[in-house]
Amino acid sequence: MSDFEELLAVLDLRRTGDDTFVGSHPSKNPVRTFGGQMMAQALVAGSRTLKHEQPPSALSAHFIAGGDPEKDLDFHVVRLRDERRFANRRVDVMQDGALLSSVMISFMSAGRGLVHGVTAPEVPDPQGLPKIGELLEGYEEIVPLFAGALRPIEWRYTNDPAWVMRDKGGRLEHNRVWMKSEGQMPADPVLHNAALVYSSDTTILDSIITRHGLSWGWDRIFAVTMDHTVWFHRQVQFDEWVLYSTTSPVLNDSRGLGTGHFFDAAGQMIATVVQEGIVKHFPGASQ
């Protein structure tokens, strides 16, 4: 299978009961289960138990333990609320009886009303920007985990990625990346939302370290996600280009926030993301 087909496969959960599901891993994984994958699968699990057709309004995940990519994940859905316009689910992600993450999801169909949103930043169109593979050429030994990672999503950076920025001796207060799936997504809106959630866990912590002129690979950095929240504002078409614009408002006591917005090609805000991570830098330990 292609990397994109593998993503669709891990989002195709196996139902084992009314409120229980099993999810697999792809063939290429980090040392621990990728948090974006875990959250995307949890969104699919929660969505498959709805009584009414409602879009997600928010997802918030707290990570408790890392998952073993060699083993399947169990998803236990708790139905907290079911109404015509509102629903709430808690999805507990388990492995070998241990709780890895607890994900709260709200679904809402609130109807039309007043509209406003943050303006999308001005960036180059994605078609003229290099693909991620081109940006990794010559840096395979610096960032081997990135070079060997699953790539179901096409990335087009509008700025230098962290490893190139570091090589040039620069600093960046933001990261802006065009994204879309590497293939045509099924018509199911749940899967488009899940692909966005999957992608929301990429690049967002970069803005924490690039503000300090640091990069994965070049510098000895320890980073782990503690919690992650996505607010959905509009239905996304993830096989069309969306811009993920991220920054970091604060880093203190080794805890940093990454914040971001997804925009469609017309500049409309699709989603807002906030992630908290533990980020530690060990000066003098650079490669």
Q: Quick check: is 38 in a domain? A: yes
Rounded CA separation 191/201 (Å): 16
Structural domain boundaries enclosing 151: 3-109+131-281
Q: Quick check: is 88 in a domain? A: yes
- Identify the CATH number of the domain in which residue 60 sits: 2.40.160.210
Residues contacting 134, CB < 8 A, separation 6+:
none
DSSP 136-177: HTT-TTTSHHHHTS---EEEEESS--HHHHHHHT---SEEEE
- Report whether pLDDT(285) > 70: no
Q: Quick check: is 104 in a domain? A: yes
Q: What is the pTM of this model?
A: 0.95
Instruction: Return phi, psi of residue 280, to 5°.
Output: -125, 135
Q: Quick check: is 256 in a domain? A: yes
Tens-digit pLDDT profile for residues 143-179: 998 999 999 999 999 999 999 999 999 999 999 999 9
Task: Give per-residue burial for 63-88: e unless 16+ CB within 10 Å, then b.
Answer: beebbbbeeebbbbbeeeeeeeeebb
- Report whether pLDDT(265) > 70: yes
Structure token digits, residue 249 = 């408002």
Q: Quick check: is 116 in a domain? A: no
Tens-digit pLDDT profile for residues 216-253: 999 999 999 999 999 999 999 999 999 999 999 999 99
Question: How sure is the predictor about 284, in pLDDT bands with cuts at 50, 70 and 90?
Answer: confident
Count up the domains in the chain and report the number: 1
Q: Quick check: is 114 in a domain? A: no
- Cβ(106)–Cβ(56) below 8 Å: yes
pLDDT at 136: 95
Tens-digit pLDDT profile for residues 100-132: 999 999 999 988 899 999 999 999 999 999 999
Q: Quick check: is 115 in a domain? A: no
Mean pLDDT to the nearest integer, 53-68:
97
pLDDT at 144: 93
DSSP 28-56: S--SS--HHHHHHHHHHHHHTT-SS---E
Q: Quick check: is 123 in a domain? A: no
